[in-house]
Structure 1
Amino acid sequence: MSSLAISASSHSSASAALVYEALLEAESWPAWSAYADVEWDVPAGVDRPARVGDVRTIRSRTGRGCFRERVVEMIPDQRFSYEQAAGLFTSHRGAVDLAPALRGGTNITWSATYRHTLPLLDVLRRRRLQMWVHDLASYANSIVSRNS
């Protein structure tokens, strides 16, 4: 097995703060991603923002996939990084980087590395990552449009 490093980019008319908020708001993920459910694993009754070390559980719409990701880095409005804590691809790490665009809005770059991969899955992973970053940008754009 070989390793794989990929990245995908998109642009949003939204501010970096709004894009970052969408990443952290688990309830919004079903609206813009291929996931049916994203839930932060915090003790019952605890109401606080996500922080480094927190784990979230992500379930696919098909019900075939259930993953747990641990937050490893948070730089508000700039970077959100995670690693697979449990699931099929425990060697997966990812990061979403946000940067101001010259003409306004935010440039979004989502990158991922897989320590072990099968070449047949590489094309699918590249397409899926491009889809996620595009869908995140589109979702943020829709919020801007609704609030205009």
Structure 2
Amino acid sequence: MAVQDIDVSATTAASPHTVHALLVDGATWPTWSPLGSFELERPADDGSEGAGAIRIFRTGRLRNRERIVECVPGRRLSYVLLEGMAVRGYRADIDLTETADGTRIRWHSTFRAKMPGMGGVYRRSLTTFLQRSVDGLAERAAALEGRAAGNG
């Protein structure tokens, strides 16, 4: 089965630090994304939600269990799906690039569908979900800094 690729982005007037702070605080995700709830199953070795932390997000009946695999303050957060959606090898890299006016947020995900023929269906659905997430993240970060957000 083919690897599915999703690449969405937005820009915000907020700093990369503010955006990253939201990403590493799973409790904020339901406030700026379509996710319903958050639970920290296990923090990273240093007690944070950094690399090694396992987080659970629920939306409706779907429960996704994810492990953070890379956390670079102000630059990147990457996670992999441990269980939940009917996909294999799901990985998301959220990269933050400082711009003259704030931050460009790029959310890139790859995966393979478990069921033949379902890759495109999952990709379309997840693209919409992730675009809503990145747009909400950009808006929330800008609001925290009291600035206007723009999408890119």
Superposed pair shares fold, TM > 0.5: yes
Superposed, 1:24-43 pairs within 5 Å as 24-42=24-42
Whole-Å separation in 1 of the counterparts to 2:122 and 2:88: 15
Q: How many residues align?
A: 141
User: Which sections of structure 1, spanning at least 5 residues, go unmatched?
Assistant: none
Aligned to 1:71: 68
Q: Does residue 3 in structure 1 map to residue 28 in structure 2? A: no
Aligned to 1:48: 47
Whole-Å separation in 2 of the counterparts to 1:86 and 1:121: 15
Aligned to 2:13: 13
Aligned to 2:143: 142
Whole-Å separation in 2 of the counterparts to 1:59 and 1:79: 23
CA shift digits 1:12-68 (9 cap, x unpaired): 11110110000111221111111121122137xx993222111101111x2x11010
User: Which sections of structure 2, spanning at least 5 residues, go unmatched?
Assistant: 148-152
TM-score by length of 2: 0.84
Give identity over the alignment, percent. Answer: 31
Q: Does residue 107 in structure 1 map to residue 108 in structure 2? A: no
Shift of 1:121: 2.6
Instruction: Please report the RMSD computed on the Cα atoms of aligned residues, expressed in angstroms.
Output: 1.9
Aligned to 1:133: 134
Whole-Å separation in 2 of the counterparts to 1:49 and 1:122: 31
